[in-house]
């Protein structure tokens, strides 16, 4: 085969790859800029739970316990805190281990429950 033909084919392939790469990068940059603009326009505070799903309950920590559930070969730890409200109602919630370590019997404060899950606990200051 003629070396001139090979050179023309190689040049065509090289230019095609460069054009494709340019358009691909350009399209990706435009999409990313559009996504960033949409994020900048979003003024909602996603770190705070929806007010209609939130409950704020004055409670006292009555008891806490942890354990292990076994299902077949799988085991799962659970951490439970039992609260008593001002109206002497007992509430029991499973909480993450990191949150469990912060509770002590006798603590009083405000429990924040969002959609049936403990979101936070603010200890009353004496």
- For the stretch 18-40, pLDDT in tens is 999 999 999 999 888 888 887 77
Q: What is the pLDDT of residues 65-123, one digit of tens each?
A: 999 988 888 888 999 999 999 999 999 999 999 999 999 999 999 999 988 889 999 99
- Looking at per-residue confidence, does 12 or 54 come out higher? 12
Asked whether residue 62 carries a pLDDT value surpassing 90, the answer given is yes
Asked whether residue 45 carries a pLDDT value surpassing 80, the answer given is no
Read off the pTM: 0.57
Q: Which phi and psi angles does 80 have, rounded to 5°?
A: -120, 140
């Amino acid at each position: 085969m003629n070396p001139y033909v090979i050179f023309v084919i190689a040049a065509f392939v090289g230019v095609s790859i460069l054009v494709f790469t340019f358009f691909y990068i350009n399209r990706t940059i435009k999409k990313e800029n559009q996504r960033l603009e949409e994020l900048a326009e979003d003024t909602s505070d996603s770190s705070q739970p929806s007010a209609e799903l939130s409950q704020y309950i004055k409670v006292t920590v009555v008891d806490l316990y942890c354990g292990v559930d076994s299902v077949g070969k799988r085991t799962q730890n659970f951490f439970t805190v039992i609260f008593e409200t001002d109206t002497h109602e007992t509430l029991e919630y499973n909480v993450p281990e990191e949150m469990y370590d912060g509770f002590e019997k006798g603590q009083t404060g405000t429990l924040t429950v969002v959609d049936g899950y403990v979101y936070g606990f603010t200890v009353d200051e004496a």
